[in-house]
Structure 1
Amino acid sequence: MAEPRQDSHGCGNCSDLEEDKYSDDDFETSKLGTKEYWEEAYQKELETFKDIGDVGEIWFGEESMNRVLRWMQKAKIPEDAAILDIGTGNGAFLVELAKHGYRNLTGIDYSPASVELARNVLQAEGLTDVTVKETDFLNCGGELAGFDVCIDKGTFDAISLNPDDNKEGKKLYVHTLRDALKDSGIFAITSCNWTKEQLLERFCEGFEFVQELPTPSFQFGGRIGNSVAALIFKRVR
């Protein structure tokens, strides 16, 4: 695990060579990157929720939501900010955002079972004003635009693991993200596959690095690293 880089300025320019170095050869593809896997997983979680009311797994745990929420409150993100939860899963983050007073919320997922589960979870919480849509982030046809904040906990990871041309998928993700955000809009990403340095390289065009959020660290072989990276970016022209 690479040691965290200390600079806190913009990313600068990245060449195709740098992009390839950081993005495509670090780990193998996996079924975790397929729509079929997630549809099956969320179908099981949906059935469990209907049976016993269990919302299922919270990706990266509750602390992953709390650290982003703490940053949003410290940064004074307005309660009426348009917020997009990319790959909403069971909608747990939407619930937490709503409980913290945010009221212009949209969640998307390409899994129909995920969307149904999220809607059921939100309804059970009495949150009827949250929008959840079945949308493939990489194939949304310009449908997503005008957001002040976009949040990703694991969706970019899954796209990176897709056996079907994940290199193109990662490029398309960045393009779609730029289109979805307003100028100076905020992007918060949590990843267990990519290091801070790799994320800085991937999002170096059209984004400015703002801050790294603290995540649990470990020491191995005399070096300190993090199993999860959580970064904040700002959309720039």
Structure 2
Amino acid sequence: MEDATGSTHGCQNTSTPEEDMGLDDDFGPSELGTKKYWDDAYQRELEVFKDIGDVGEIWFGEESMGRMLQWMDKAKIPENAAILDIGTGNGAFLVELAKHGYTNLMGIDYSAASVELARGVLQAEDLTDVTVKEVDFLNCSEELKGFDVCIDKGTFDAISLNPDNTSEVKARYVQALRSALKEEGFFAITSCNWTKEQLLHRFSEGFEFVQELPTPCFQFGGKTGNTVTALIFKRLH
């Protein structure tokens, strides 16, 4: 993820497509893929928020939120669309969605501290109609259904660093996503670990690629690449 100053955390892929050795290569295990890491991180942010009102980091920076909102405007996502923020963190994106006029919002996170923090941030903005739940997306069974749009900013990155059964975890993520989305529903993902080609491969079954959103580029050694990838998919039958 990335804060508003542009620093990245847990991002391991800045390769160009030509450099991809495998479409679904796993990264080495990392504490960034563990629940304990995020529990501890959001507990610290929660304490800071309670002390001084600082909401903490914004994943991938404010630019990423604006990029997603611009796509939603162009795609004419209705204001009453059911929208799920997967791995909501501090709830900053839920705040922006609500301020943008969206009225049917839910954020989930498997960290209790994250959920408490997000609820506090929303309450401070007087946004009491936004739902935030403590839910493990990989084990949500039938709890999450009927969403028009699912948004992921860094959560798939984090679970890809899980030290245990990484391939199984990624497969379960795709299954959970298909279960949560309505047919023809949209999935918007922002990633700093996976390239466009790798994400197209991972979400090739059951999803149709819609478009790539523009993200900052870098040039090195005569090649051009992206430090962040943002893609839109549509759920098929």
Please report the TM-score for the alignment, with normalisation by the length of structure 1: 0.91
- Asked if structure 2 preserves the Cα contact closer than 8 Å seen for 1:3 and 1:224, the reply is no
Tell me how far 1:131 sits from its aligned partner. 0.3
Q: For residues 96 and 182 of structure 2, what CA distance do their matches in structure 1 show?
A: 23
**1:24 alignment partner, SS class:** coil
- Asked if structure 2 preserves the Cα contact closer than 8 Å seen for 1:83 and 1:106, the reply is yes
Q: For residues 139 and 222 of structure 1, what CA distance do their matches in structure 2 show?
A: 44
- Asked if structure 2 preserves the Cα contact closer than 8 Å seen for 1:35 and 1:110, the reply is yes
Q: For residues 151 and 44 of structure 2, what CA distance do their matches in structure 1 show?
A: 25
Query: 2:189 matched to which residue of 1?
Result: 189
Q: For residues 69 and 220 of structure 2, what CA distance do their matches in structure 1 show?
A: 30
Query: 1:138 matched to which residue of 2?
Result: 138
Aligned CA RMSD, in angstroms, stands at 1.2
- Asked if structure 1 preserves the Cα contact closer than 8 Å seen for 2:217 and 2:226, the reply is yes
Q: For residues 23 and 136 of structure 1, what CA distance do their matches in structure 2 show?
A: 23
Question: What is the one-letter code of the residue matched to 2:158?
Answer: A
Q: What's the CA shift string for 1:152-210, capped at 9, x where partnerless?
A: 00000000000011110000000000010000000000000000000000000000000
Q: For residues 2 and 217 of structure 1, what CA distance do their matches in structure 2 show?
A: 10
Query: 2:165 matched to which residue of 1?
Result: 165
Query: 1:206 matched to which residue of 2?
Result: 206
Verify: 1:2 aligned to 2:3, yes or no.
no
Q: For residues 78 and 71 of structure 1, what CA distance do their matches in structure 2 show?
A: 12
Q: For residues 96 and 216 of structure 2, what CA distance do their matches in structure 1 show?
A: 21
Q: For residues 23 and 48 of structure 1, what CA distance do their matches in structure 2 show?
A: 38
Q: For residues 232 and 65 of structure 1, what CA distance do their matches in structure 2 show?
A: 14
Q: For residues 64 and 28 of structure 1, what CA distance do their matches in structure 2 show?
A: 26
**1:161 alignment partner, SS class:** coil
Q: Could you tell me which runs of 5 or more consecutive residues in structure 2 were left unpaired when the two chains were aligned.
A: 1-14
Query: 1:32 matched to which residue of 2?
Result: 32
**1:54 alignment partner, SS class:** coil
Verify: 1:46 aligned to 2:61, yes or no.
no
- Asked if structure 1 preserves the Cα contact closer than 8 Å seen for 2:209 and 2:233, the reply is yes
Q: What's the CA shift string for 1:43-68, capped at 9, x where partnerless?
A: 00000000000000001101111101
**2:141 alignment partner, SS class:** coil
- Asked if structure 1 preserves the Cα contact closer than 8 Å seen for 2:17 and 2:197, the reply is no
Question: What is the one-letter code of the residue matched to 1:96?
Answer: E
Q: Could you tell me which runs of 5 or more consecutive residues in structure 1 were left unpaired when the two chains were aligned.
A: 5-19
Query: 2:73 matched to which residue of 1?
Result: 73
Count of aligned pairs: 221
Query: 2:115 matched to which residue of 1?
Result: 115
Q: For residues 17 and 66 of structure 2, what CA distance do their matches in structure 1 show?
A: 24
Question: What is the one-letter code of the residue matched to 1:184?
Answer: E
Tell me how far 1:142 sits from its aligned partner. 1.6
Query: 1:55 matched to which residue of 2?
Result: 55
Q: For residues 229 and 21 of structure 1, what CA distance do their matches in structure 2 show?
A: 17
- Asked if structure 1 preserves the Cα contact closer than 8 Å seen for 2:86 and 2:155, the reply is yes
**Identical residues among aligned pairs (%):** 77
Q: For residues 24 and 133 of structure 1, what CA distance do their matches in structure 2 show?
A: 32
Tell me how far 1:29 sits from its aligned partner. 1.6
**2:160 alignment partner, SS class:** helix
Query: 1:23 matched to which residue of 2?
Result: 24
Query: 2:126 matched to which residue of 1?
Result: 126
Question: What is the one-letter code of the residue matched to 1:196?
Answer: K
- Asked if structure 2 preserves the Cα contact closer than 8 Å seen for 1:186 and 1:234, the reply is yes
